[in-house]
Amino acid sequence: MSNHSHHNQSSDSHDSLKVTAAAKRELSDPIEGNQVLPPWLLLVFAAIICFAGVYFGIYHGGFDGAVFNESESTPALLSSKKAGAGAAAQVSVELSLVEQGKAIYSNCQPCHQASGLGIAGQFPPLVGTDYVVGSEKRLVSILLKGLGGPISVGGAAYNGAMPAWEKALSDRKIAAVASYVRATWGNTAPEITEAKVAALKKQLADRSAPWTEAEILAIPADAVIEGAVDAAPSASGASAAGAPAKAASATVDLDAGKAQYMAICVACHQPTGLGLFPVFPPLVNSEYVKDNPERLVAIILSGVMGPITVDGKLYNNLMPPQGAVLTDNKISQVASYVRSAFGGGAGPITPEQVAEARKKYGSRATGWTEAELKAFPE
């Protein structure tokens, strides 16, 4: 310090020149006051806002929460709903099961790895193993209940615990991930539908323990899942055969149907299904509920209006259409519930029947009149 000041005091001409040069290198003092933003920055902001506006305009998804629900979203939902809120906007272009399964595989990836090759000695591979590409019944059984104890996969021994998924993943997600592992990494087994997962889950309802190798191998290597009615006659081409919708009782989920009823229909038709004279007609003792299934679906899709006589009493009101808010699957559930609870045990209605009715009547903009409903066959 002292050394330094001494140096300064004894400055000769050479030193003072150095100081001036240093001062010149300093930045000028900041000035107070407003300055206009540089034009180039304004342009950058304008470009960003413009891009964001256009992007949002295209992808707002109708501000519909379902857009982000991977099991119900459709590409049609994502591209703006220009067509208006009508039923016509509900296009049935869904992601295939395999495509949906890719995201759900994130549950399996920590153990079986992105490559499907597992980890030697710890987690068995899913590539080319019999459990994956063999019997659909074996695979879905494993996914529903889990697997434990010694097992040999691809000639190597494992002894770990694979968790059960029936509580953590919906039937649809299990179907999707099963279909995904069967169709990825060179695997080429056919997809497994949601209805099959649901059917097997029912059959195995009493079991909670994970499987052992011996138990899984006791399921025949070519066993298929019985009692399922395919919900989607799509990619697999499985439902080309002519006899759909017969043994449906096993697969339409009446509990889910009851939940729909309690959420949507109950406000008007009441928990008892007896309605509220003279405003809301009963579903009990109604020909519209227990007779022609297609007519019941048509009613739920498009609503009803004008004078109508139900169980001997006259009503003249308006039932709002539900076609735009309920999927085929949900309509199948609620219609089946209504028929079983209030329709004297009339048979269930499958999602395919709903899809068919939607194809015919989905574009209808107004509610049905009594005369039109009477024109349906019994």
Name the residues that contact ligand HEC, by CB under 6 A.
107-108, 110-112, 123-126, 129, 131-132, 139, 142-143, 147-149, 151, 153, 158-163, 165, 177, 181, 264-265, 267-269, 280-283, 286, 288-289, 296, 299-300, 304-306, 308, 310, 315-320, 322, 334, 338
Task: Work out the burial of residue 178: count CB atoms within 10 Å of its CB; fewer than 13 is exposed, 13-18 middle, 19 or more buried.
Answer: buried
Least separation in angstroms between CB 116 and ligand HEC: 9
Q: Is 310 helix (H, G, I), strand (E, B) or coil?
A: strand
In 3D space, the residue among 272, 284, 135, 133 whose CA is nearest the CA of residue 196 turns out to be: 135
In 3D space, the residue among 268, 277, 278 whose CA is nearest the CA of residue 338 turns out to be: 268
Q: CB under 8 Å to 124, separation ≥6 — which residues? A: 112, 118, 151, 153, 154, 156, 158
Q: What does the block give as tokens for 296?
A: 């019941």
CA 137 → CA 126, 150, 242, 269, distances in Å? 16, 20, 24, 41
Asked whether 303 and 321 are in contact (CB, 8 A), the reply is yes
Least separation in angstroms between CB 98 and ligand HEC: 13
Nearer to ligand HEC, 256 or 268 (CB): 268
CA-CA distance, 308 to 287, in Å (whole number)? 12
Least separation in angstroms between CB 265 and ligand HEC: 3
Least separation in angstroms between CB 188 and ligand HEC: 15
Nearer to ligand HEC, 111 or 204 (CB): 111
Nearer to ligand HEC, 73 or 322 (CB): 322
Nearer to ligand HEC, 96 or 292 (CB): 292
DSSP assignment, residue 240? G
The label of the residue with tokens 């509610």 reads: 367
Nearer to ligand HEC, 193 or 286 (CB): 286
Nearer to ligand HEC, 231 or 343 (CB): 343
Task: Work out the burial of residue 79: count CB atoms within 10 Å of its CB; fewer than 13 is exposed, 13-18 middle, 19 or more buried.
Answer: middle
Q: What does the block give as tokens for 283?
A: 């579903």
Nearer to ligand HEC, 103 or 250 (CB): 103
Least separation in angstroms between CB 376 and ligand HEC: 12
Least separation in angstroms between CB 143 and ligand HEC: 6
CA-CA distance, 286 to 274, in Å (whole number)? 10
Nearer to ligand HEC, 18 or 374 (CB): 374
CA-CA distance, 161 to 146, in Å (whole number)? 7
Least separation in angstroms between CB 375 and ligand HEC: 14
Q: CB under 8 Å to 93, separation ≥6 — which residues? A: 74, 75, 76
Q: Is 249 helix (H, G, I), strand (E, B) or coil?
A: helix
Nearer to ligand HEC, 286 or 332 (CB): 286
Least separation in angstroms between CB 246 and ligand HEC: 23
Least separation in angstroms between CB 68 and ligand HEC: 21
